[in-house]
Structure 1
Amino acid sequence: MTRLLLALSLICACASAALATPIRIKDLVEFDGVRGNDLVGYGLVVGLNGTGDGIRNAPFTEEIMVNILERLGVNVTGEQFRPQNVAAVIVTAVLPPFARQGSQIDVTVSAIGDADSLLGGTLVMTPLTAADGDIYAVSQGAVIAGGASVEGDAASVVQGVPTAGVIPNGARIEREIEFEFASLAEVRLALHSPDFTTAARIEAAINHEFGRGVAAMLDAGTVLLDIGATRAPSPAHALTRVENILVQPETRARVVVDQRSGTIVMGEDVRISRVAVAQGNLTLRIEERPVAVQPNPFAEGETVILPRTGAAIEEDAGTGLAEIRGGTSLSEVVAGLNALGVSPREMIDILSSIDAAGALHAEFIVR
């Protein structure tokens, strides 16, 4: 109990320390147009050791296999296929910004049929398309699966996810995305977490760096940078100076709880008004004690089982009604909650009740 509550205090203290540290602008914003693009493809993995799709349960695997063989000049019309060493897969990748033709990117391969494992498989040449339907990359190579599967006559063991894997540098870019970054006259900086105070600080920090008004806050999530006013040779040179400027971000007060693991994380600005809290538990106990009744010796009859049930409700004494003073700092809020002497899971219920009572001055997020 003490260790868990101490861990909660340390997590909160670390969060406070992290929020007090200036952050680079490049870690707070996304530059307009400088982003990746999702790619997807449908392909076939071959060379599996009997762990592929069952053709009867995955007819699409047979269809793509026939198409590939016919493209290679093999006539398989009317043939019956029953291999177990192939699997239909979905291939996904992200085309990074400014990627050039001929460079390579990583891809993820995931089975879509009833294949047991992709271990040892090889992805056959698969085109990858973007949202516009055009092919931007082609993927092929040996699949590195992230799990293992062992099966016997009466039992099987699976560790990890053997039906998904990656191919490092498994796709080669064949088409570039047309984007004339060097011709931009203005660049918008989009904040990851929109906040008026943070946007104003970014505007002030950029203008201070250049010594004149080159940035203007448009709203809580956007700051506009005038490339011409920076007097930089190109937008790339201007953003090189901008992205390394340090800014103190401002965030909303938040309490994030994970009910599955019992984790509680509080932000630096969390405050709790003065409240009184009582916490207790009810325990319901039911015990079955059947009794066997037998007939007298030498008498006719048969044994009868009579039901006997014992039921009781117990209520823990708990800590009574405890007062939590108004928190003026994160450490005082944590100290007040720790004084209740409850487990983190019980503390989640207490925080939820305090929030419902209107005494928790923070955004309460449950995952």
Structure 2
Amino acid sequence: MKRLLKATTRIPLILALLLGAVLGQAEPLRVKDLGKFRGWRQNALVGYGIVTGLAGTGDSPTNAVTRQTMANVLSQFNLTVPSSQVQSRNVAVVLVSATLPPFARVGDALDVTVTSAGDARSLLGGSLLLAPLKAANGQIYALAEGPLSLGGYRYDANGNVVQKNHPTVGSIPNGAKVEVAVDAQILGPNHEMTFVLADADYTTANRISEAINRQFGAGTAFAKDAEGIEIKLPDGQRNQLVGFVAKIENLHVEPDRRARVVINERTGTVVSGGDVRISEVVISHGDLKISIANYNTASQPYGVWGTGADVRTAIVTNTTVDVSEKNEPGFLAPGANTVTDLVQSLVKMKTGTRDVISILRAIKAAGALHADLVIQ
């Protein structure tokens, strides 16, 4: 019998994604794609409820929370049942969550997510009883109810289990109705607004304020810091707030960006802006290959006639270790080069992704990579 074990450090190139090939040709973007107005936010709602109608897959009778919840529900209908007498497995206690948009009117529908909070095996076929949804301030903003929609199932009998996906999490499309209206307030008491950048940058903030001043007049906006742009509502626009905000959102500005190279060593991914510069540097990266081979051979006794207790065939294992390193030529990166040029050259040399990652880290350590190196 022959076993051959080989280990090698050569890994194929998985992905090298290069964004933006030419320096200074960034496409202008709308202001609304760069951030949002302060006060424009979604709010999380959460509630507690009970799912009924399960086919014996609900919480176990030993779950005290489920028994107490059912006793409380029945008491609302003038039925007094001690919690110790509730033994049904057709119900399950759940947590209900939804997202309240910045603008919501009474009667608007929200999507609801329902998750099991007990030891139920499956919520398949269940229906959520009316459950209030509260915000962080403790006020009820919506009511949720309806049949659950699951993307899976679970059936078990006599120790056999068949399960698909996750049967203890479900959803109710349009399952909640808004009971209290909300309105995002983006206008301050002195008729001012603040536009907040998603990525704080002084240059981008200054360009946005200049674009607004060119459109609506000097003094309308100023960059307060790298993240916020203060905007004063002109007197002639106070009755046309929606139109004024829409005009600001549709202004086109060329954002500035920081030079950055993102590396994910787990997946072997390299993402970089195409204009990330590399100073003149010499790169020499060896290709180390290690091979370990085990050979099993049988040793037969020769010259021995007959049989005996000490006469038998022996198995001998021979191990060989081979270490080889290719003396490939180094790579010289001339001045004013980019990560795009470097990676393209390494790809042509059939360099593995993890070797590219090692090279980029070494270039950064040498001070020749003029960008932030982000390792995930």
TM-score, length of structure 1 as denominator length? 0.84
Indicate the larger mover: 285-294 or 237-246.
285-294
- C-alpha distance 296-54 of structure 1, shift in aligned 2 (>3 A): farther
Give runs of aligned pairs for residues 219-230 of structure 1, distance below 5 A.
Answer: 219-228=225-234
Q: CA deviation at 1:330?
A: 5.2
Of residues 195, 202, 217, the one that matches 1:211 is 217
Q: CA deviation at 1:234?
A: 4.2
For structure 2, list consecutive stretches of 5 or more residues without a partner in the other structure: 1-9
In the alignment, does 2:317 pair up with 1:308?
yes
Higher relative contact order (CA 8 A, sep 6+): 2
In the alignment, does 2:141 pair up with 1:136?
yes
Contact 2:38 2:186 in 1 (8 A): no
Indicate the larger mover: 126-135 or 285-294.
285-294
Q: SS at 2:48's partner residue?
A: strand
Measure the CA separation in 2 of the matches of 1:54 and 1:16: 63
Q: SS at 2:234's partner residue?
A: helix
Contact 1:119 1:162 in 2 (8 A): yes
In the alignment, does 2:369 pair up with 1:360?
yes
Q: CA deviation at 1:120?
A: 2.4
Of residues 245, 249, 262, the one that matches 2:251 is 245
Contact 1:22 1:248 in 2 (8 A): yes
**Which AA in structure 1 matches 2:53?**
G
Q: CA deviation at 1:238?
A: 2.0
Q: How many residues align?
A: 362
Measure the CA separation in 2 of the matches of 1:227 and 1:81: 62
Measure the CA separation in 2 of the matches of 1:191 and 1:162: 40
Measured on the aligned residues, the alpha-carbon RMSD in Å equals: 3.4
**Which AA in structure 2 matches 1:63?**
Q
Contact 2:145 2:176 in 1 (8 A): yes
Of residues 28, 41, 61, the one that matches 2:34 is 28
For structure 1, list consecutive stretches of 5 or more residues without a partner in the other structure: none
Of residues 145, 152, 157, the one that matches 1:147 is 152
Measure the CA separation in 1 of the matches of 2:75 and 2:51: 17
Give the match for residue 126 of structure 2: 121
**Which AA in structure 2 matches 1:362?**
A
- C-alpha distance 351-166 of structure 1, shift in aligned 2 (>3 A): farther
Give the match for residue 336 of structure 1: 345
- C-alpha distance 312-182 of structure 1, shift in aligned 2 (>3 A): closer
**Which AA in structure 2 matches 1:343?**
G
Of residues 89, 94, 109, the one that matches 1:89 is 94
Q: Which has the larger radius of gyration?
A: 2
Q: SS at 1:12's partner residue?
A: strand
- C-alpha distance 278-346 of structure 1, shift in aligned 2 (>3 A): closer
Give the match for residue 48 of structure 2: 42
**Which AA in structure 1 matches 2:260?**
R
- C-alpha distance 78-232 of structure 1, shift in aligned 2 (>3 A): closer
Q: CA deviation at 1:80?
A: 3.8
Give runs of aligned pairs for residues 43-122 of structure 1, distance below 5 A.
Answer: 43-56=49-62, 58-77=63-82, 79-122=84-127
Q: CA deviation at 1:181?
A: 5.1
Indicate the larger mover: 79-88 or 238-247.
79-88
Indicate the larger mover: 327-336 or 253-262.
327-336
Give the match for residue 349 of structure 1: 358
- CA deviation vs aligned residue, 1:202-229 (integer Å, no higher than 9, x gap): 1111111113321100111000000136
Q: CA deviation at 1:247?
A: 1.3
Q: SS at 1:141's partner residue?
A: strand
Measure the CA separation in 1 of the matches of 2:76 and 2:295: 71
- C-alpha distance 296-260 of structure 1, shift in aligned 2 (>3 A): farther
Q: SS at 1:170's partner residue?
A: strand
Compare the two structures and name the one with the higher helix fraction. Answer: 1
Contact 1:255 1:363 in 2 (8 A): yes
Q: CA deviation at 1:179?
A: 5.8
